[in-house]
């Protein structure tokens, strides 16, 4: 497997946009804006679109933003995206955010050991996307933990601590082909807050 180190672009209103790329690793970033301009002033902090495959987003501190991370840019792009958009989100700190933690279309994602603190709409799986959602923690005033805005997404969810956040999505069976280890949900808050962001 080859690793393409910087197939990212700063375009328009996205902080980081990854498109038409494979084997991408975004690690130990700190990405934010502000929430003073309304939800449509900025777009995504990290958006992954146009049939990307094998993208990992790890140890990122997302904070103080409206529309955080989008996987799959359009409801009408299924012909390009279906069978692609394989993305992993691991050990990320999602803090003081409105939505898209992440929002997924068409693809397959693995979302594990993330810490959500005060996020309105967290994991939204739609347009037939599927996700394996494991050992994440939802804290503070986080509201919608795991859901499908259009009722077509599904997840295999286990080991999550939803706190007061909702979990309202159809279940599926999903496994990953790579090896990984999980932290218990009780360890996630401390570990992620200590290690996510520009700490290297």
Compute the distance between CA of residue 129 and CA of residue 105 in angstroms, rounded to an integer.
5
Query: Coil, helix or strand for 186?
Result: helix
Compute the distance between CA of residue 60 and CA of residue 47 in angstroms, rounded to an integer.
13
The answer to whether 155 touches 125, Cβ cutoff 8 Å, is yes
Among the options 5, 17, 100, 105, which is catalytic? 100
Of 129, 123, 125, which Cα lies nearest the Cα of 143?
123
Q: Is 17 a catalytic residue?
A: no
Pairing of strands 53-58, 22-27: parallel
Which residues carry out catalysis?
100
């Amino acid at each position: 497997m080859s690793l393409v180190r910087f197939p990212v672009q700063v375009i328009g209103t996205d902080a980081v946009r990854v498109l038409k790329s494979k084997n991408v690793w975004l690690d130990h970033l700190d990405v934010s804006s502000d929430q003073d301009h309304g939800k449509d002033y900025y777009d995504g902090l990290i958006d992954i679109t146009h049939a990307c495959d094998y993208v990992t987003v790890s140890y990122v501190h997302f904070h103080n933003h409206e529309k955080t991370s989008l996987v799959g840019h359009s409801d009408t792009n299924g012909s390009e995206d279906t069978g692609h958009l394989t993305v992993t989100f691991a050990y990320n700190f999602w803090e003081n955010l409105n939505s898209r933690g992440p929002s997924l279309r068409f693809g397959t994602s693995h979302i594990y050991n993330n810490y959500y603190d005060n996020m309105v709409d967290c994991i939204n799986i739609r347009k037939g996307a599927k996700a394996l959602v494991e050992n994440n923690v939802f804290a503070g005033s986080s509201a919608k933990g795991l859901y499908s805005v259009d009722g077509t997404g599904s997840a295999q969810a286990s080991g999550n601590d939803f706190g007061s956040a909702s979990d309202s999505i159809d279940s599926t069976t999903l496994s990953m082909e790579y090896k990984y280890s999980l932290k218990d949900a009780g360890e996630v808050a401390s570990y992620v807050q200590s290690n996510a962001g520009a700490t290297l």
